[in-house]
Structure 1
């Protein structure tokens, strides 16, 4: 008789929502792009830039085919896989996991302030706004370990930035994001906190869990075929901004956590790893992390 292991609630929820999360991320991205396209002047496209980038991407593909003697069977498998990525709605997932971290490094190579990293596919603008000390929206019985996250926002010259916006979002203790998984309140564990006159903020939330990126679609097939793992370490997403300064988009990780050393998205940087300590209140953990913003 076959031994059947009953999945945990978290595993069942993840399995039920993995495919839908890719489609939801794609639709949100398309909506953003439709809004941007409505005000963009496509006549200003730099054809020389497009020619350079497209030509070099194709040249790199041609080089790989020649060096590795790619067969027609492999070529057909690639073609079928690329088509399926689009049908699964997983292009945002694929690009955010395996490509975005390099784009981010290039885009922010001249920053003097805080380090950034990838945004990921699960950002939603317009989260509820709170004053300098706030608790992120959450369920009455929100699972997990309470976390007090506090710090200060300042400019590179050390000037505190009053009225700066600290926007935070993250997965819950089951590794699921609100608006990308059923059964979660719309703004669960999402909020924007405005700093006080000294640029300080205090955010009460719950520690997130590590999670696997969706594996029931095309990205999962690539992971399985390559023998990779699908895990991201537990992390907090943040966007920090202030008038006259550059927005910073980042993620913060927990020292000693699973997959901090081998994040599938290659987004972890040493400067982004937190050292938490037991909270002074005796409930959960706390950590202080300051942000330094470059001038615009």
Structure 2
């Protein structure tokens, strides 16, 4: 983690993630029928009750949990907590029917409407942006092999310090965020830099859980993407890099073998290149 005094705090990034969630996503569950809410709430509570009985939870432990949950709310870390420890199971269930590419969690740092760079271009970067140059080429097709002209590939990732633009101070608004629109053959070429592994924020409530449980807080290096085309299901994924020390013990449990890239040195050795395609599932009738 960076030691820059301007580095974001867990509370600061948590508040940003909470505000973004409220703006973009809050509310879709309002139409859930009462009978389903009843079933889900009762089963969650029954599972909690069973754990308390099975492990003879004490009042001291109960009060520690209550204090910790209050702390999570006050620091705005619910998006971080849920996205790190819960979302991967929701994603598995939601996409188990798909025949095309595997996806994985979105995480708390997506921002819509990143600048469009066409079918071939570079993500916005700062002058001297740290990181090995990376050129990624690919094609977007339907699961039947038909090229999807005009498919959108939204890309975002952390910088060399594990920080995301719009969630950390001092970083330009769209740094390492861009949208690419595939050509008539569904092809695209993206120029960026290879991100680094990073630790999730540990100075807040989530960090206290990690310390108390004796866990680590590392995520492997990854590229976030959302891939979409008319008439097809949105694919949300993270792409990882072979050989990363944390591919096998990602704190967010989000790595899948199908999402691991194999970069190769480019001609002249000035960077790396990788090829990775997407096959999208048609929207189900």
TM-score interval, smaller chain: over 0.9
CA gap of 1:194–1:13, structure 2 versus 1, over 3 A, is: farther
5+ residue gaps, structure 1 = 1-7
Alignment partner, residue 124 of structure 1: 111
| 8 Å CA contact retained: 2:156, 2:225 | yes
Alignment partner, residue 42 of structure 2: 55
Following superposition, the deviation at residue 22 of structure 1 comes to 1.2
CA gap of 1:142–1:15, structure 2 versus 1, over 3 A, is: closer
- The structure where helix makes up a greater share of residues is 1
2:12 matched to 1:28? no
Following superposition, the deviation at residue 11 of structure 1 comes to 2.8
TM-score computed with the length of structure 1 as normaliser: 0.92
| 8 Å CA contact retained: 1:167, 1:239 | yes
5+ residue gaps, structure 2 = none
Alignment partner, residue 11 of structure 2: 19
| 8 Å CA contact retained: 1:278, 1:286 | yes
TM-score computed with the length of structure 2 as normaliser: 0.96
Following superposition, the deviation at residue 141 of structure 1 comes to 1.3
* Secondary structure of the structure 1 residue equivalent to 2:273: strand
CA gap of 1:14–1:158, structure 2 versus 1, over 3 A, is: farther
RMSD: 1.5
Within-5 A mapping of 1:1-296 = 10-12=2-4, 15-33=7-25, 37=27, 42=30, 44-296=31-283
Alignment partner, residue 4 of structure 1: none
Structure 2 CA distance, aligned partners of 1:175 and 1:56? 37
Give the number of equivalent residue pairs. Answer: 283
